[in-house]
Structure 1
Amino acid sequence: MKLLATTAALAGLLMAGTAFAADSYEVDPAHAWVSFKTNHNGWANAHGTFKSVAGEISFDKEDVTKSSITLTIDAASIDTNHEQRDTHLKSPDFLNVEEFPEITFTSTAIEKTGDKTAKVTGDLTLAGTTKPVTLDVTWNAEAPLPWDANTLKTGFSATGSFNGVELGITKLADFGLGPDFTLDIDLEAVKK
């Protein structure tokens, strides 16, 4: 009877370990960078960044295809190093931040491409329109904070692209912009 109880307890632990193989992380907003660039009338690439980024990551190191990520970006936090341009980009001509205050990315599939790399496909929602976008992601490192061994941090870098017109920003050409945007994302996240 004792052997049966021990076996059942061990099986329960193994099943629980399988069910909860993914670790949960919260994106550190002070160490999250989402930047973009797009062609400006052939003269140069116009650059910008978003200053307010939050998100949750479920990271299964044994099987990354079972991982997931959700990112939420405050659309009004856009910064292109020019206040008047930023105000215009927040208007209904572009991001329409009053009606659509958040830009979101929610992963839908992950394909492992190397020891520390993957293609992460997800739904990008921008100005009320949702389209699939694929990001090339690299897992950089995971380690405890040097000043706090109890806090574990992990980090990722990602790149991707999308067509702004397809995501509902139809006036890009009126201002000599786009239509294609390149994304660069760097995130540090703290294990919960």
Structure 2
Amino acid sequence: MPAFRPSKVQAMGNIIIEVRKALLIGQPNATITHIMAETIPKLDDFDRAILRLVQRDNRMPQRAIAEAVNLSTAALQRRIAAMERSGVIVRNVAIVDPDQVGLGVTSIVEVNLVDEKAARVDKAKQLFRDAPEVQQCYYVTGGRSFIMLIVAPDMRSYEAITRRLFAENESVASYHSYLALNRVKAGMELVIP
């Protein structure tokens, strides 16, 4: 781990030290309590307004977005580019209706690993990340290891996926599938404060 250089210290009681990749909060003799993946970029009201619009429709003309948020088109382009570089905007994609492309089975799956040793968890994360049928996957608390959403064309395909990912995987102690009867809501749009 690289050496940490404090940028801000509060002297009364607890110490708060801001660093490039970690935030230390605690008593003066405390150890690291939380490692942050990345520094969170500062977003102003313009950035937040832009994000609200592009989440709903990223094909909206930039001229229209600029007018809606009261910026010039050039300023809007710079802000969008900066949010893409910083990772705020991860990617621009088309949302495809699974039923329209023959993916009629949607399943929410709870997975329990044999143990939670780092090497086993990391290997499972990579396996699930690389499986194209896994649409979303979360490493969770509460007695389960992972919760994920899987789509498949039919039950025969779904069975093959579960065999490959879970039943034949020595790291998986158990798994439980919940088949969706109806997709009530599906989306990735965030509520931007």
- Judge same fold: TM > 0.5, yes or no: no
Q: Which has the higher strand share?
A: 1
Compute the TM-score of the two structures, normalised by the length of structure 1: 0.22
**Highest RCO, 1 vs 2 (Cα 8 Å, sep ≥ 6):** 1
Compute the TM-score of the two structures, normalised by the length of structure 2: 0.22
Q: Which has the higher helix share?
A: 2
* Structure (1 or 2) with the larger CA radius of gyration: 2
